[in-house]
Structure 1
Amino acid sequence: MSPVFPQDHYHPSPLPSPEPTGGRRTYHPKLNGVPTDENGIPLPPNAPPPPRFDRDDDPWYPFNDEGGFRLADFLFREEEMPAKKIDYLLEIWALNKMKNDDLAPFNSYTEMYNAIDAIEFGDAPWQSFLT
């Protein structure tokens, strides 16, 4: 009598999937993949996308100015400063600048990361890993 192995009795026939009961789909009210214009108005079917906004008039976009760009570059790329410490630094900066009716380039690390993530040009080596 030859030995019997479990794989000898294996028959790879899938079981039928159970039919879903009472299932429903919920769609996001705004994130639905429908192409829109710059005001969020849906484009007609098969319409070409609107032309890209030319930002040649603002060389520091998406940053407010060169100072904001250089600060983000320093904190994010050079120092790799954690978000919590960026917020703390910007709070200190804002306290000092409020006395002179001036503000820091960013209100929080989130605002700085959003500006970095909004870069559309070239091969910017930045990427935000927020969870």
Structure 2
Amino acid sequence: MTEPAPLDPVPVTEEELAELVALAAAATPGPWYVHTSADERSEGEQAEDVVAVSAVRPTQRGGPWPESDPAEVVAVTLGRGPHRADGGDGRWKENAFFISAARNAVPLLAEEVRRLRALLAEREQREQRAQSAERNGS
């Protein structure tokens, strides 16, 4: 399988950052958690029946998932049964963990980008003032 090309190192604009923050704010509140359900197979082999993402911590409901409320599910990366969902490449858990991590990280990463940009702007202003003072003989 060919690996995807690396992303071009193009700076994220403030508009793009604001769009990501708006998407996160409009989504089901986080944090999100990965849930799996194993189904007993022949000869002791286990396979996942459901891999999903939910805003409810797996142990919060007290019973095995998916006995919890299906309305609490925000994404399904693998579902076998009448409502089939199957990504096809077998990366159901990996995809679910990424979805969960991205939901939890986007607001934090956006805040960090803005914090670092503000620090960089302050530093640039200090350097400009120092250069201006040097030119003026102060």
Q: After TM superposition, is the score higher than 0.5?
A: no
Structure with larger RCO (C-alpha < 8 A, sep 6+):
2
